[in-house]
Amino acid sequence: MDRLDSHAIRVPGAEVRVIERCGSTNSVLLAERYPGHPVLLAAEAQTAGRGRRGRRWHSAPGADVALSLAAPVRRPLRELPGLSVVAGVAAARALRALGVRAVRLEWPNDLMVGAAKIGGILVETRGAGAGTLLAVIGVGINCRGAPPRPRRRATSLADCVQPPPSRNAVIERVARELLAALPRFEAAGLAPFVPEWEALAA
């Protein structure tokens, strides 16, 4: 079994945590007191992952990636919806680096390969004190086999890359890309990401 190991997930500047099971990694981080530094949480299994409009994102043990990154964001409130674009570009960069060259983004939060969904993103925010907002970016990726989805086709890393990368490697790459993207967003807003998002748009 491709088990997660916090020691094998190297993300400089972030606290890395792995738990066996939870309802939603986003919900766990949103409920905790923010410690003052970025926190990456990954779960072996997620039983009540949330997608857009209340849809569920199921994550089977050993088969998928379910991660959330909590980090402060200092931009005007009106600009925070742009975080979905920022996170999408970062996740697509990570998947391309891992060998999924055909990955595309479908507005507002789906990672696609052709007409099939390989992953999804959910960005949520809350206050973190001292005028700072905490962004919690959840990313789910099918790794070892796509679950049946009644609404649309699905695919996985194992369908796209042989041999597929380990889940630890996927989490590390996605988290590093997210952490690299957030300072750019803080410094310049959405503008630096728009050309890449347009090039990736499905």
Q: Say which CATH number the domain at 82 has.
A: 3.30.930.10
Q: What is the domain range of residue 24?
A: 12-200
**Is residue 5 a part of any domain in this protein?**
no
pLDDT of residue 84: 95
Q: How far is CA 18 from CA 6, 43, 182, 200, in A?
A: 6, 6, 22, 31
**Is residue 93 a part of any domain in this protein?**
yes
**Is residue 3 a part of any domain in this protein?**
no
CA angle (84 as vertex; 187, 22 as ends), nearest 5: 115
When divided into structural domains, the chain yields a total of 1
pLDDT of residue 55: 59
**Is residue 1 a part of any domain in this protein?**
no
pLDDT at 54 over 90: no
**Is residue 192 a part of any domain in this protein?**
yes
pLDDT at 44 over 80: yes
**Is residue 111 a part of any domain in this protein?**
yes
- Give the model confidence (pLDDT) of 158-167 as tens digits: 999 999 999 9
pLDDT of residue 137: 98
Whether residue 163 is preceded by a cis peptide bond, meaning omega within 30 degrees of 0, is yes
pLDDT of residue 160: 96
**Is residue 20 a part of any domain in this protein?**
yes
Whether residue 108 is preceded by a cis peptide bond, meaning omega within 30 degrees of 0, is yes
**Is residue 6 a part of any domain in this protein?**
no
